[in-house]
Chains A and B, each alone.
Chain A
Amino acid sequence: MADFEPRIVGFLCNWCAYSGADLAGVSRLKSAPNLRIIRIMCSGRVDAALVLQAFRLGADGVLVAGCHPGDCHYQEGNFKALRRVLLLKRILRDFGIDERRLRLEWISASEAEKFARVSTEFTEEVRALGPLAAVDYPAAARQTGEEAAA
């Protein structure tokens, strides 16, 4: 387990969290390199299917980060994200996945330090949880079953 490097997918909103991450980079702040950032227009855009797909494809943790409450570029997309994450945590629990593997954070465009802190903190938290157990089954092969046959 000592050489376990968590794979973390981060869905960062274009207007706040991604800009915060950008600022962290420009400011040369140190943060864990485990976070694979995907820029999205709004945290409210993060469909539950995207989070579950990330876990299916081998993510050990998923971070959703958006604007602070009240600051959403699209009025209330971040509240949609909040409700979705709270419901998803319950689903993860039912599937035997520790709910701490899914994290929601509000990071503004100026909060480079918060971004650096969150990504490092989350990486260490997921590292402590260990790798997410895989399920031995042919990956979702609903369409034609070809994956199963391959």
Chain B
Amino acid sequence: MNKPKLALYWAASCGGCEVAVLDVEEKILDVAAFFDLVFWPCAMDFKYKDVEAMPDGGIDLCLFNGAIRTSENESMARLLRRKAKILAAFGSCACDGCIPGLANLTDKQSIFRRVYEESPSTANDAGARPQTHVEVPEGDLEIPEFFETVRTLGQVVPVDYYVPGCPPQPPQIVAVLSAIMEGKPLPPAGAVLGAGEKTCCDECGRVRQEKRLKHFRRPSEIEAKPEECLLDQGIICLGPATRSGCGALCVKANMPCRGCYGPPPNVEDQGAKMISALASVIDSQDPGEINWILDQIPDPAGTFYRFSVPGSSLHARRR
């Protein structure tokens, strides 16, 4: 069997990236014909020991989705890094941390307290917490450790390519896989694949005005005009600070861009870029009024860093 070997893995993720791979529709048959699928726990029955048995570099391409939340995620990231010639961070979780990464705005203790004590459906009078080792008559049981913070794949192992998106859009997945299947020369390691080189605004057809904002509104508070820039209407749209590639999907559905394609080229901190841009167009010079306007943004860090807390400059809440 000389077909190139393909592996897909999920770490801390929702499974949407796996579905996105299947959303390439009949193209999946070409993928299955071209590649030898050697590891895809979500879709087929493989065991970790199957991967361990492979020679180092024995996998030609590994699409790794999900962030690094537990010791299991980390050891799989290290294992697949060793086994894969090309390791791609697939989807926003692996690239920037995404929604699981919002947990970095709180801490492990608070998460455990909420999940194992305070949540309304929990009955845990003993205050039990998950332990990494439990002795039972049959022997020692081990479950993975829950880390203090969520990390991106690139913060744990060297990554060859980044494929952003929550999830990456099927046409972009096809473009990435086709490039590899056709044997096209690949860009240098560290490049972003399956996305554009501009911002989401460049793909948006709405009419823009000179921005002067006195109010911020949540999408549920007004009926947004479909032809006008959402930001001009006071709806926080992360388009200006988000990489192009999705075709401005959300904006076309009259919802603001939330920023899932990550920072545009040459930007490290997506949230900071949006903060700078937004602060520039607030129409006030009075500190009191500015604060009154800013009060209309209910969750600043969660808004500007919805998909990129772990990948941002600050990474996590200080304790």
| B-binding residues in A (CB < 8 A) | 47-49, 51-53, 55-56, 69, 76, 79-80, 82-84, 86-88, 90-91, 94-97, 132-133, 135-138, 140-146, 148-149
Contact = CB atoms under 8 A, between A and B. Distances in A.
B124 interface: no
B285 A82 contact: yes
Contact of B314 (A84, A95, A141): A95
A95 B271 CA distance: 13
Contact of B312 (A52, A132, A136): A52
Given A52-B313, A52-B314, A55-B313, A90 B158 contact: no
A141 B105 contact: no
B156 A133 contact: no
B141 interface: no
Interface string B55-98: 00000000000000000000000000000000000000001100
Nearest to B283: A83
A149 B157 contact: yes
A143 B285 contact: no
Contact of A138 (B155, B279, B299, B317): B155
Nearest to B301: A94
Contacts of B314: 52, 55-56, 95, 97, 135
A137 B99 CA distance: 18
B155 A137 contact: yes
B316 interface: yes
Contacts of B278: 87
26 contacts: A48-B273, A48-B275, A48-B276, A49-B267, A49-B268, A52-B269, A52-B314, A53-B269, A53-B313, A80-B280, A83-B282, A86-B294, A94-B302, A94-B317, A135-B316, A137-B151, A137-B315, A138-B155, A140-B268, A140-B312, A142-B96, A142-B162, A144-B154, A145-B156, A148-B156, A149-B158
Given A83-B279, A94-B317, A138-B155, 20 more contacts: A48-B273, A49-B268, A49-B273, A52-B312, A52-B313, A69-B285, A79-B285, A80-B279, A84-B279, A94-B300, A94-B301, A95-B318, A96-B317, A97-B318, A135-B316, A137-B316, A140-B311, A142-B154, A145-B158, A149-B157
Interface string B302-315: 10100000111111
Contact of A140 (B158, B299, B315): B315
Contacts of B287: 82, 86
A145 B301 contact: no
B149 to A, nearest CB: 6
A47 B159 contact: no
A5 B159 CA distance: 38
A64 to B, nearest CB: 12
Interface residues of B, number: 51
A55 B302 CA distance: 19
A96 B316 CA distance: 9
B240 to A, nearest CB: 13
Given A48-B272, A142-B268, A91 B154 contact: no
Interface in B194-241: none
Contacts of A142: 95-96, 152, 154, 162, 268, 311
A83 B301 CA distance: 16
Interface string B262-299: 00000111011101101110101101001100100101
